Amino acid sequence: MLTKMYLTNFLSFSERTEFDFTASKYSILSASNVSDNNVLKGALVIGPNASGKSNALEGIAFIIKLIKGEGVSFGRYHCCFNPKPSTCVEYEFIFNEKKVSYVISYNVQTKTLSEHLTIDNKDILIRNGIHGELYIGETPIIAEKLDGETLFLRTASFDTGKFPHSPVLHELMEYLHNSYYIDGYNKTASFGKSVTKYAEENGIDKLNSYLKIFNYDFFMEYGSESHGEGLHLRLGSGQKSIFFKRNNFPIPTIFYEESQGNQVFADMLPQIINIIEKPGMLIIDEFGNSLHNKLSEKIVKFVMENSEYSQLFITSHDTNLISNSVFRPDQINLVTFKGPDGSQVKRISSFKPREAQNLEKMYLGGMFEGLPRYEEI
């Protein structure tokens, strides 16, 4: 699980900025929102428009994109108003009660990539430019002429079959491969690529069983045709699609003609299932886009209550999520942009609110940071 992250010269985070995902002394929601290793099962990042919220999630998703080989351009992440050439992202994880520290640094002037991974402060992987060294057995593995756009950790994982001789590294790679990033503002989500692929590979039954758990008033079908209440929909030859039907009025609707909210929730559902059934991270930017507030709350609570070692990281403008019934104070991160100093972050727990206080009311009343002000001064 991800315990801490530090961003330096990364997008709008100019100075080294810490994100802490370990539990503080609050007792509220401990049974549901905190794992047994004292790591939080995720966090809410909230703040004004253009404050750096999405950039914080980009930091978490950075390692996932690199490990999955999703064509990351290192130069794109360099802070445009910081003259220093190096961008750095530091991660701390805990697996099998061992601390994994992994640092990725990229120099935009020399186009040099560096990596340093330790387990309980012992060097395991070191990379400087095209030269890399891996220590997981009796004999070090030396790599020369490494690709300048590919992590040595990714290459070594492929070459060794996800580190079978290192349980901690193997668990790290499994965790990252079962992690997902969703841009909730990206309208391509409405095409249903995720849910359609899941239905093709796994069928529709599990998706519908989760909809029942959510007490959702819809179920889905997958195929070339669907009918109900006197309406028969049939696609062209060889075509298949997700169809929606209401439980109390099962008239079929083809996926792309359904409401935006139903499309967004359905396309999110496979990733929710994946991290419930296997440890991983689900990162959602603009969470709640097109969803009712109550459904947004239900999704967060469901993941917290039903995942053991998974984490949910979201940005949102839904202030109803700033609630002790949904997130703990140490799970709510307030981001503000401070001009030349860049984006900065504070957890609500640093303001030491009492557990019984109304966090949403306090936030909207200006008692914390991260509140936009549009009133005339």
Q: Indicate whether 257 belongs to any domain.
A: yes
pLDDT in tens, 215-226: 999 999 999 999
Q: Indicate whether 372 belongs to any domain.
A: no
Q: Indicate whether 369 belongs to any domain.
A: no
Q: Does 238 lie in the same domain as 309?
A: no
Mean pLDDT, rounded, for 282-303: 95
Residue pair 168/124 in contact (Cβ under 8 Å)? The answer is no
Q: Does 212 lie in the same domain as 174?
A: no
Q: Does 256 lie in the same domain as 350?
A: no
pTM: 0.95
Q: Does 346 lie in the same domain as 213?
A: no
Q: Indicate whether 243 belongs to any domain.
A: yes
Least confident interval from 69-73, 117-121, 151-155: 69-73
Query: Percent of the chain, pLDDT > 70?
Result: 97
Q: Indicate whether 270 belongs to any domain.
A: no
**What gap in Å lies between CA 9 and CA 14, rounded to an integer?**
4
Q: Does 43 lie in the same domain as 82?
A: yes
Q: What pLDDT score does 10 carry?
A: 98
Mean pLDDT, rounded, for 208-212: 97
Q: Does 174 lie in the same domain as 198?
A: no
Q: Structurally, how many domains does the chain consist of?
A: 2
Q: Is the pLDDT of residue 377 over 80?
A: no
Distance of CA 264 to the CA centre of its chain: 16
Q: Does 305 lie in the same domain as 249?
A: no
Q: Does 123 lie in the same domain as 6?
A: yes
Q: What pLDDT score does 238 carry?
A: 87
Q: Does 135 lie in the same domain as 283?
A: yes
pLDDT in tens, 17-65: 999 999 999 999 999 999 999 999 999 999 999 999 999 999 999 999 9
Q: What pLDDT score does 369 carry?
A: 84
pLDDT in tens, 240-290: 999 999 999 999 999 999 999 999 999 999 999 999 999 999 999 999 888
**What gap in Å lies between CA 228 and CA 250, rounded to an integer?**
6
Q: Indicate whether 125 belongs to any domain.
A: yes
Residue type for position 64: I
Beta strand spans in the chain (E): 2-8, 17-20, 42-46, 86-95, 98-107, 112-119, 122-128, 131-134, 141-143, 180-183, 218-223, 225-228, 231-234, 241-246, 253-254, 281-285, 311-315, 332-337, 343-347
Q: What is the mean pLDDT of the chain?
A: 94
Q: Indicate whether 309 belongs to any domain.
A: yes
Determine the structural domain holding residue 15 and report its residue range.
2-178+278-364
Q: Indicate whether 370 belongs to any domain.
A: no
Q: Does 160 lie in the same domain as 70?
A: yes
Q: Does 353 lie in the same domain as 254?
A: no
Q: What pLDDT score does 374 carry?
A: 75
CATH code, domain with 359: 3.40.50.300
**What gap in Å lies between CA 349 and CA 294, rounded to an integer?**
24
Angle made by CA atoms 308, 309, 312, in degrees to the nearest 5: 100
Mean pLDDT, rounded, for 196-220: 96
Q: Does 318 lie in the same domain as 201?
A: no
